[in-house]
Amino acid sequence: MSNAMPITDLLERNSKLYGDEVALVEINPEVQEVQRVTWKEYELIQPVNPMPYRREITWSVFDEKANRVANLLMSRGIRKGQKVAILLMNCLEWLPIYFGILKAGAIAVPLNFRYTAEEIEYCVKLADADVLFFGPAFIGRVESIVGSIGRDRLLFFVGETLSPTFAEDYHLAAANCSSVAPKVLIEDDDEAAIYYSSGTTGFPKAILLKHQALSQSAHLEAVHHRTTHEDVFLCIPPLYHTGAKMHWFGSLYTGSKAVLLKGNTPKAVFDAVSQEKCTIVWLLVPWAQDILAALDRGELKMEDYQLSQWRLMHIGAQPVPPSLIRHWLSYFPNHLYDTNYGLSESTGPGCVHLGLENVHKVGAIGVPGFGWKVKIVDENDQIVKQGDVGELCVQGPGVMVCYYHNPEATAEVLKDGWLHTGDMARQDEDGFIFLVDRKKDVVISGGENIYPVQIEDFLAACPKVHDVAVIGLPDRRLGEIAAAIIQVKEGMTCTEEEINDFCLGLPRYKRPRKIIFAHVPRNATGKIEKPKLREQYCGVRLVEAQNRA
């Protein structure tokens, strides 16, 4: 199957080929289906059954809903190239709205559900969005900025409750629109979406992508994970992020079922895999850690679930400790495993990937992905010797057009068709790439470069460590020292002496000079929030760190 088509063509094809088959399932373990029962003068609410709240739609309904969204937008004057923002938690409406925007020829602008009102306003304005679809969780935030963003924009409320007065009810508005695809010419080279960077250094940057970038990511996902029409993909991370969306694109490419799980507890994951017969699950590091911890404690028993069809577990969005995968394979020895590396600037995961046949190289992020090239360069943009550390650069069909409205930032990362990732990496003798660290996270201590990921991977193998982050703390003598923030496994105790003894296996200059026992914060996509840790500890712990040095 060729990937030379707009991403919307895949949905229309699936509607024709697999119209009556289930495309999407939404499961919310925290909500049970209820019914109202009148008894005398009292109205009682009781569960219909003990199962979690579940909804599903077929491929034909999916396509029809997307068509209604497209026709709704066009009836309100939205034309090709205009921007439409989405601010929703994962739900069954999310993807039909996204594809409806694309079918109208408009540009979809997914927003992080963790954004504050100020960030929502900033991102809507930066993208020049003319429309905002938002859900119940965001009524307060949107209401607080409606005076600023609502004057010249259409606001649609997506929810089962009564729409707020400042917005229009999406369900009512879309129901009155045609379910026939609008006649809008969409080509590979058309602009399709604006995604936002994680914003760890301030307000996020707007990343502009074309239809061909989205289409290539769907083809890439199906190739990398050998996705077939019979697979069932469990999607847990937020759909606003390129990681979740582009992994789901493998289901779109093959016309296979996907499950949107609203919850990430070990039990919720196992329940969904078992009940929906999921075959592919994408996890973030903390969720995999939680599952293993629950299995270790005996709280989760594999024999209680139907897991034999589960063939692939893959992880992305952050470096993966090799010890975690070894631990995983001790429970799931028949699982295929992959890790995927990517950025929103490269249309999400897969510009580098480990490969299903390369579990012996766990620890590496892998080799160039399907249709991609890579190089590792020094500060003068010259390719480094094999084995040396440099900045990872990627080139391929998913590289962004630009940072929207930010030519200076674009020029810093796009050079001669190569995307400079800001990640430090090295390549071994077999051509596998190992991520060393973010360029900005490197700790320079006494003139030595210390790469926190290497220390984190080492400490993750400690039996008492649940999660770990390493940052640099200012030091008068050495410039910086490495500090390890350790989150101890539930039910265990650990001392600084134990960690220091464990670290004797590291070269002296890599051993953390400071041990802090605390929670390790991660964002919605599983990345350690190091700016938050530096803000927290660089001031509070500075005197103590200096005295220790």
In the predicted model, what is the mean pLDDT of residues 111-135? 93
Model pLDDT, residue 524: 67
pLDDT in tens, 333-373: 999 999 998 989 999 889 999 999 998 898 899 999 999 99
- Whether the CB-CB separation of 53 and 33 falls below 8 Å is answered with yes
Edge-first strand listing for the sheet containing 465-475: 465-475, 479-488, 514-517
Tens of pLDDT, residue by residue over 288-328, are 989 999 999 999 999 999 999 999 999 876 667 888 899 99
Residue % of the chain over a pLDDT of 90 = 68
136 within 8 A of 150, measured Cβ to Cβ: no
- DSSP letters, 513-526, are SEEEE----B-TTS
Helix, strand or coil for residue 319?
coil
Q: How far apart are CA 484 and CA 516, in angstroms?
A: 6
Count of CA atoms in the C-beta half-sphere (13 A) of 292: 23
CA distance 211 to 187: 7
Displacement of CA 512 from its chain's centroid (Å): 30
Whether 546 contacts 513, CB under 8 Å: no
Q: Which helix (H) or strand (E) holds 123?
A: helix 117-126
C-alpha 485/C-alpha 483 separation (Å) is 7
Given a cut of 80, is residue 32 above it in pLDDT?
no
The amino acid at 25: V
CA angle 216, 219, 221 (to 5 degrees): 105
Mean pLDDT of 185-197: 94
Residue linked to tokens 């041990």: 515
Mean pLDDT across 4-14: 91
Q: Report whether pLDDT(194) > 50.
A: yes
Other C-beta atoms closer than 10 Å to the C-beta of 317 total: 27
Whether the pLDDT of residue 266 is over 50: the answer is yes
Q: Which residue has the tokens 């929670």?
A: 519
Burial degree of 392 (CB within 10 A; 0-12, 13-18, 19+): buried
Beta-carbon contacts of residue 140 (< 8 Å; ≥ 6 apart): 117
pLDDT given for residue 447 in this prediction: 58
Res. 221: pLDDT tops 60:
yes
The residues that bridge with 526 in the sheet, in sequence order, are none
> What single-letter DSSP state applies at residue 505?
G
Angstrom distance (rounded) from CA 197 to CA 346: 11
Phi, psi of 38 (to 5 degrees): -95, 125
Give the phi and the psi of residue 297 in degrees, each rounded to 5: -80, -10
**Residues 18-42, mean pLDDT to the nearest whole number:** 72
Cα 163 to Cα 151: distance, rounded to the nearest angstrom: 18
Beta-sheet strands, E only, within 410-478: 414-415, 418-427, 433-438, 443-445, 448-450, 465-475
Round to whole Å and give the CA distance between 77 and 19. 30
Cα–Cα distance measured from residue 397 to residue 373, given in angstroms and rounded to the nearest whole number? 10
Neighbours of 55 (CB within 10 A): 14
Residue type, 363: G
Which of 197-206, 334-343, 540-549 shows the highest mean pLDDT? 334-343
pLDDT at 197 over 90: no
Q: What is the pTM of this model?
A: 0.81
What's the angle, vertex CA 269, arms to CA 229 and CA 232, rounded to 5? 5
Report the percentage of the chain scoring pLDDT > 70. Answer: 90
Amino acid at 84: V
Is the separation of the CB atoms in 369 and 398 below 8 Å? no
Most confident of 81-85, 244-248, 470-474: 81-85
Helix pair 7-17, 242-254: axis angle to 10 deg: 40
The DSSP-derived string for 258-300 is: EEEES---HHHHHHHHHHHT--EEEE-HHHHHHHHHHHHHTSS
Q: Is residue 9 pLDDT above 60, yes or no?
A: yes
60-71 residue pLDDT tens: 999 999 999 999
Q: Which amino acid is at 526?
A: G
Q: What is the pLDDT of residue 41?
A: 46
- pLDDT one-digit tens code per residue, 464-513: 999 999 988 887 667 788 899 999 998 899 999 999 999 998 878 789 99
Dihedral sign for Cα atoms in the order 90, 92, 97, 100: positive
Q: For the chain, which domains are there?
A: 58-210 (3.40.50.980), 448-548 (3.30.300.30)
pLDDT in tens, 517-527: 999 988 766 77
Whether the Cβ atoms of residue 347 and residue 207 lie closer than 8 Å to each other? no
| pLDDT, tens digit, 9 for 90 and up, residues 384-413 | 999 998 999 999 999 999 999 999 999 999
Do residues 195 and 242 touch, judged by C-beta distance below 8 A?
yes
Q: Closest by alpha carbon to 103, among 183, 42, 217, 15?
A: 183
> Does residue 184 surpass a pLDDT of 60?
yes
User: Tokens 């005076």 correspond to what residue?
Assistant: 147
pLDDT confidence tier of residue 457, bands split at 50, 70 and 90? confident
pLDDT, position 542: 36
> 3-class SS at 499?
helix
3-state helix, strand, coil in the chain (%, to 5): 35, 30, 35
Name the more confident of 191 and 544: 191
Two tokens, residue 326: 């070894």
